[in-house]
Structure 1
Amino acid sequence: MGQSPSQTRPRRTHEQLTQELAYRFKEKCFTSIEYYSLKDVFKSLADQQGDIRYLKEDTIARFLEIPDILGASPVIFHMVSYLGAFPFLHEAPVVLELAQLIMVVVIMTERYKRVLAKSTDRTKLLFKSLAVYDRKVTVAESTPQSATSENAAAKPNAQFKGFAVDQPGLDDEHEDDQEDDDDLVITAFELLDIHEAAKRGDVSSIHEAIIPTDNFRKLIMLLLLVAPLDPQESLSQYSSRVAGNELDQLRATAECVLASFVNVETSPGIGYTRFKTVVPALFPNLFAGFNGLFEHFLFSKDLDFSKHKIEKPGDAAHVSKTAQPLLPTPGDILNEHTLSQLSLFLPGSSLFRRVRLLYSGNDAGFSMGSLESKIFYWRAPTILLVSGTRLADIPDGGQEASFAASLPTKRSPHGSKSERVTFGVYLREPWKHTHKECFGDSETVLFQLEPIHDVFTASTVNTDYVAFTKPPGNRPCLSFGCPHPKPTQAHRREGLHALGAVSLLFDESFEFGVFNHDYKSRGGAFHTSIVRKFDFQDRFRIDNLEVWGCGGDDEAKEQAERWAWAEEAAEARRRVNLGTADIAADRALLEMAGLVGGNRSGGSMG
């Protein structure tokens, strides 16, 4: 007697804590219908062993409609088996029961932000879900990657050994911070009020981990495929993108993306330092496609409310339709795969089913005049793309020699071994003539798509973003990141183009182009590369040049109206009658129009 009951909180098991966190996610991250759908989908897909109901790799792959040809199913299952252990990641891989599936869905769709508000970045967690720690090459050569995932599914209690790869000397750089728990895990522990001593597990250091190159290649192909996917869209509707020549193009696009992360010829995989540096800078939307893909778990096929929503015949607002093409008509450069590549760093809402070809050099002609006639008065963002064949160091022929002579004498090595290059510019502001200064804003983006994906964001120190100049006031020029071609500059009098530290310039006939990257120089209009920290210069013959408008029918209608107005104004000017024999009156009219007077001449009027 006299003893008070203990105030010590009973120690909760990891299973109880997982159930508690799953309940909080369920309450905050799903509507009642979404959670009902999730349970219904799980029930319909799950296998059973004893009292355990769980999902297997082939079941998940079949439900999400991941194409077998990509070979990405084992990679995805590796990821979800790890994420399902959240927040006790040292227990991964786990059997995917309902609670574990909840963890996977809220992380893959970023709905966790509704509960773990302090943490918004899942980059480290996704890296860990893809990474491996085994250093034995012999094991890698003798253990098929898919076998491990299959064994984990067949034996729910089996220990997962991971994908075996060699990993010494993986990364040139190391983190000063040796903390392996990421912010998401720490925030989850704080939410569950877990004591520090209880949350540490036997987890290998993140600096001993890599993502195997081949695994990441397969994942990139899948991410490019699912980039435009909406939650209720079927991935099978894009099956044409993984067959024949389309599949080859998808692979080629994935290789350009992969080249930003790793040198496939010398490294077995991607280390964390490289991963966390490259993803936010070059691919901020890399994993956005997971949102739509994994939200499929929240839509049960057994719940069809369409018949209750249609009130009259012909009302098809809620009836599924055949997917509209991502591009009305593919261009010479831009195809569906390239569009997905652009969506990795540009907003996908402005790209998929929202772009139209405004200008193609192969159709309208390679000249500044034809470019102007097609893209001026477009009042929405535009994307310029140029592809070409790299020129040799020694010019071949008079035209190449003339172009080489118009550039500064400083030469840097090429940016890659590839003979093919593709560059581009994303521009929010409408195009216009730059009589005295460049145009563009801090959202202007200069980028490279082939053979390596690279992004050069705008600087705010230097605003020489875009120059579009024509005679008589200036020399013809279309450049990005170059100083404005003012005729008072000495190098202009010498007939030389001025190149910016990071810049793209075309000659006036759109026959040749040059991309310049002076890494040592600072103060350019665009920031230098984070993956190629050296000077390089790619001079190339232009094969294709396109400008795409980001916008819909309203933007196209406005452009047509503006062009019609401009044509009417031009026609009115052509109809001005100057042949009245009153030379003084005619000259006065021309002076008011700014066509004669000062240093200009109106020509013979006699």
Structure 2
Amino acid sequence: MGQTWGTESSPPQTENNLNQSSLHNYKISNNLLRKNFSNLESYSLQSTFENLGSIKNGKEVIEEEVLIQYLGFPDEIGIGPIIYRSFTYLASYPSPAHKENLLTYDGLIKAIAIYCDKVHDVILEDRIKLIFESFAIHEEHSTLGITPKMGVSYEKQPPYTEYPESKVSDVQEGEISEVGTLKIDSIDLDDDAAFLKALGLGKQENEETYIVSKVSCTEMIKILTGIIWLMTNEITFAKDVFEHSTNAEQILKVITPIVEHMARYDTELHNLPYSQIISPQTYIKWPIFKDFMQRNIPNGFDIFKPFFYGQFLIGQTLSQHRKKSVMIGPHVQLLPKLDETSEYLNPINLALLSLMLPEKVLRKKEWNYLYSGSKHGFSMNRFNTHVFKYTGPTLMIIRAELTSDRHSEQASSSKKEILIGAYIPEQWRTTSSPRTCFGSAECFLFELYPNFEVFPASNHNKNYIYYNPTFGIGFGGIATSGPTSSKIVSTDANSFVIQLDNTLQHGRYRNDALRNLANTFKLSATRSFFDTRFEVLEIEVVGMGGEGAREKQMRDWKWEDNESSKRLNNRKDKVDKEILKMAGIIDESKRSEIIKEP
């Protein structure tokens, strides 16, 4: 057959069209450089391109194997080819497409601008959506069925006019129309949409169509594994206590169940077995990914900014070796350094937490290791001494062993441990009554293992954190049976999502939509019910107030100790004075001391 093109294909590239397209791409790239890149960044990007580029088909381009080798991802992760495909897709903006694109200098500018968030006033589309689409395959859905698409066009006006779309036939019912001579050799007979269109029976002008962008679960695993690998290596660089980079295989074991959980956000996939979800034939669509990301990993793609900045905009231009961090350059913040070692805040868990924590705590230079149950003692008094008076946000991690499990939809019985916790955005304090809590809507709960899920505030009430030395600690509820009661009740009758008793050694973790109080935190997105009692193996609390917060806490405790000593001395002086008065040594009426003769 002859040359074919349908509704999903671009018209033939004439010299005029190519010149027009090249000029349009040049204008976008030039505007990005002029408005959003410094002179040094522009120079560095051009120098890096020249170092990596080679001539292909008469153009200077960066070839796939060169880019993959330059970025330095381990081969076993498999993200290198995905990143190259993403770059070439974004390089063809505003009509990006997965085809045989070449990564030219103009295209590299657009890809780096999108990844590094340097698109202000030039590219107005949602950059997170653009990045997702660059990983995805695309389909056009209409009443005619599903048509594969090369990409999602953001062209404001069609750039080509030489081959206009076929118009809908305006022949009235009962009339005869001259169709003319059909050149069958120019139509792909295997393409129903193209064939119907040639007959004037194709898509109607007012017919609603929509594009579905989706990434396979297996590729999503590679993408997230690459992200966590980058973060763990950055944490390893920033922390002297870690001597080796985290193994990619370890990360893969953590990421796979996370992608499974993400896929189950889709009601069509919710009840599929694990083997069918973790498959190249199972896909995560953009709306599903968007919902999962907003709730669980709002910082999911943020690590790409400093990474690609370091690779293209300053770091590798000035330093061709990788002995130092690849996250180099202005406005680039290393992940905070924890001032003491932690068994459970290891590089992988820190990386996962960094995907969900607020930016304000990630920008701090250091975090403070405040409390460990095994190190400082499992008691409310020891917790109070080490955590109270710390003025910044804190993070609590609870590692526990299940003692009873009423999960109706829980994983296999081999999973006996859980790793859960809470982000507390303000200073800890004792609550005044069983119905009083502290905290704000910034507070959230999370589970890292065996499931990965964040429970953000629902804004239904303000029952965030409850602290009572005689009761214990509770999150997401009140200690009474209801809002009108003032009597503290047992764990069966109260409404907490996570609670610890006053020994800090036993607790409960549950998700129950049928409880009589409105939920403080959002319920699980994929599990309708669970109710677990546990025995605490370890509790850790990390302060995220940054530099000076720990010192201020110690000064406040010292001041309170001094005041307590003063009060104690004053009471002692008062007691001594009363004893002297009773002995007749002090005469208050004369305001003087009388020394009796022997």
Kindly provide the amino acid, as one letter, of the partner of residue 523 in structure 2. Answer: T
- Is the Cα contact below 8 Å between 2:225 and 2:248 reproduced in 1? no
- Structure 2 matches for 1:69-218, cutoff 5 A? 69-90=76-97, 92-117=99-124, 119=125, 121-132=126-137, 186=154, 189-190=155-156, 210-218=214-222
Of 7, 21, 29, the residue aligned with 1:22 is 29
Deviations 1:289-322 (A, max 9, x none): 1111111211265558xxxxxxxxxxxx999xxx
Quote the residue 1:290 is aligned against.
304
- Alignment partners' CA distance in 2, 1:206 and 1:419: 45
1:329 aligns with 2:340: yes
Kindly indicate whether residue 369 of structure 2 is the aligned counterpart of residue 370 of structure 1.
Answer: no
Contact 1:282 1:455 survives alignment (8 Å): yes
Aligned residues: 486
Match of 1:447 in 2: 446
- Contact 1:109–1:290 under 8 Å retained in 2: yes
- 8 Å Cα contact 2:420-2:449 kept in structure 1: yes
- Matching residue's letter, 1:212: S
Q: CA deviation at 1:14?
A: 2.7
- Residue from 34, 45, 53 that aligns with 2:52: 45
Q: Does 1:461 align with 2:460?
A: yes
Identify the match of residue 558 of structure 1 among 534, 548, 552. Answer: 552
What one-letter code is carried by the residue in structure 1 that aligns with 2:51? S
Residue identity matched to 2:557:
W
Deviation at residue 335 of structure 1 after TM alignment: 1.4
Aligned residue identity for 1:211: V
The higher radius of gyration belongs to: 2
Over aligned residue pairs, what C-alpha RMSD do you find? 4.1
SS class of match (2:288): helix
- 1:64 paired residue number: 71
Aligned to 2:423: 426
Amino acid at match of 1:378: Y
In the TM superposition, what is the alpha-carbon distance from 1:194 to its structure 2 partner? 5.1
Q: CA deviation at 1:209?
A: 5.3
User: How many Å separate the matches in 1 of 2:210 and 2:226?
Assistant: 25
* Cα displacement (A) at 1:325: 8.1
Q: Whole-Å Cα distance in 1 between the matches of residues 240 and 123 of structure 2?
A: 34
Read off the aligned partner of 1:439 and give its amino acid letter. Answer: F
Q: CA deviation at 1:53?
A: 1.6
Whether the 8 Å CA contact 2:409–2:527 is kept in 1: the answer is no
Over 3 Å counting, the alpha-carbon distance change for 1:182 and 1:489 in structure 2 is: farther
Counterpart selection for 1:479 from 471, 474, 482: 474
Give 2:275's aligned residue.
Answer: 265
| One-letter identity of the residue aligned with 1:251 | L
Q: Shift of the alpha carbon at 1:441?
A: 0.9
Cα deviation 1:165-198 (Å, max 9, x = unaligned): xxxxxxxxx9xxx999999953xx33x7858999
Sort the Cα spacing of 1:520 and 1:56 in 2 relative to 1 into closer, same or farther, 3 A: farther
Residue identity opposite 2:419 in structure 1: T
The equivalences for 1:300-319 within 5 A come to 301=316
* 1: CA distance, partners of 2:33 / 2:243: 36
Residues 463 and 493 (structure 1 numbering): CA distance in 2 closer, same or farther, change over 3 Å?
A: closer
Distance 1:331 1:538 in 2: 26
Matching residue of 2:358: 347
SS state of the match for residue 542, structure 2?
strand
2:542 to 524, 532, 548: 548
For 2:68, what is the secondary structure of its paired residue? helix
Give the Å deviation of 1:116: 2.7
Normalised by the length of structure 2, the TM-score is 0.71
Q: 1:604 matched to which residue of 2?
A: none
Partner residue, 1:274: 288
Change (3 A) 1:334 1:340: same
Report the secondary structure of 2:408's partner residue: coil
Whose helix fraction is larger, Structure 1's or Structure 2's?
1
The 5-angstrom pairing of residues 241-256 of structure 1 reads 242-243=245-246, 247=248, 249-256=250-257
| Residue 325 to residue 345, structure 1, CA distance change in 2 (3 Å) | closer
Change (3 A) 1:484 1:88: same
* Residue 501 (structure 2) aligned to one of 502, 507, 511: 507
C-alpha contact (below 8 Å) 2:472/2:502 kept by paired residues: yes
- The TM-score, its normalising length taken from structure 1, stands at 0.70
Classify the secondary structure of the residue corresponding to 1:115: coil
Q: 1:41 to 1:350 in 2, by over 3 A?
A: same
Q: Classify 1:446/1:487 alpha carbon distance in 2 versus 1 (closer, same or farther; 3 Å).
A: closer
C-alpha change, 1:540 and 1:503, in structure 2 (3 Å) is same
Deviation at 1:89, TM superposition (A): 2.1
Residue of 360, 376, 400 corresponding to 2:372? 360
Partner of 1:219: 223
Which secondary structure does the structure 2 equivalent of 1:468 belong to? Answer: strand
- Secondary structure of 2:352's counterpart equals helix
User: How far 1:497 sits from its partner (Å)?
Assistant: 5.2
Whether the aligned pair in 1 keeps the contact of 2:116 and 2:304 (CA below 8 Å) is yes
Q: Is the 8 A contact 1:499 1:505 kept in 2?
A: no
Q: Which moved more, 1:374-383 or 1:342-351?
A: 342-351
CA distance, structure 1, for counterparts of residue 367 and residue 439 of structure 2? 20
Helix, strand or coil at the partner of 1:545: strand
CA change 1:449–1:236 in 2 (3 A) is closer
Q: Partners of 1:40 and 1:124 in 2: how far apart?
A: 29
Task: Write the deviation string for residues 545-566 of structure 1: whole angstroms up to 9, x where unpaired.
Answer: 1000003331111001001012
Rounded to whole Å, the distance in 1 between the matches of 2:447 and 2:80 is: 30
Task: Supply the distance in 1 between the matched residues of 2:150 and 2:129 (Cα, whole angstroms).
Answer: 6
CA apart distance, 1:62: 2.8
1:413 aligns with 2:429: no
> Structure 2 stretches of 5 or more lacking a match?
1-15, 166-190, 194-208, 265-273, 320-327, 583-598
Q: Is the 8 A contact 1:387 1:543 kept in 2?
A: yes
How far does the alpha carbon of each residue in 1:478-526 deviate from its partner, in whole angstroms, 9 at most, with x for none? 00012145999879566445443x7111122122221111235572211
Q: Indicate how the Cα distance of structure 1 residues 345 and 360 shifts in structure 2: closer, same or farther if over 3 A, else same.
A: same
CA distance in 2, matches of 1:561, 1:431: 17
Residue of structure 1 equivalent to 2:314: 299
CA distance in 2, matches of 1:72, 1:26: 28
Q: What's the counterpart of residue 8 of structure 2?
A: none
Provide the C-alpha distance between the structure 2 equivalents of 1:333 and 1:580, rounded to a whole number of angstroms. Answer: 53
Amino acid at match of 2:84: F
Structure 1 residues 197 and 123, CA gap change in structure 2 (3 angstroms): farther
Q: CA deviation at 1:115?
A: 1.6
In the aligned structure 1, how far is the partner of 2:401 from the partner of 2:365? Answer: 30
Unpaired runs of 5+ residues, structure 1, are 1-9, 135-173, 305-316, 394-410, 587-606
Query: CA 1:559/1:55 → structure 2, altered by over 3 Å: closer, same or farther?
Result: same
Query: Structure 2: how far apart are the matches of 1:554 and 1:88?
Result: 50
Aligned partners of 2:392 and 2:544 also within 8 Å: yes
Contact 1:330 1:336 in 2 (8 A): no
- SS, match of residue 478 in structure 1: strand
SS of 1:40's partner is helix
Write the distance in 2 (CA, Å) between the matches of 1:180 and 1:42: 33
Change (3 A) 1:509 1:58: same
Q: Determine if contact 2:464/2:520 at 8 Å carries over to the other structure.
A: yes
Q: Do 1:517 and 1:536's aligned partners in 2 also have CA atoms closer than 8 Å?
A: yes
Give the whole-Å Cα distance in 1 for the aligned partners of 2:242 and 2:152: 35
Alpha carbons 1:54, 1:98 under 8 Å: kept? yes
SS of structure 2 residue aligned to 1:553: coil
Deviates more, 1:539-548 or 1:479-488: 479-488
Q: 1:489 to 1:355 in 2, by over 3 A?
A: same
Q: Distance in 1 between matches of 2:239 and 2:148?
A: 38
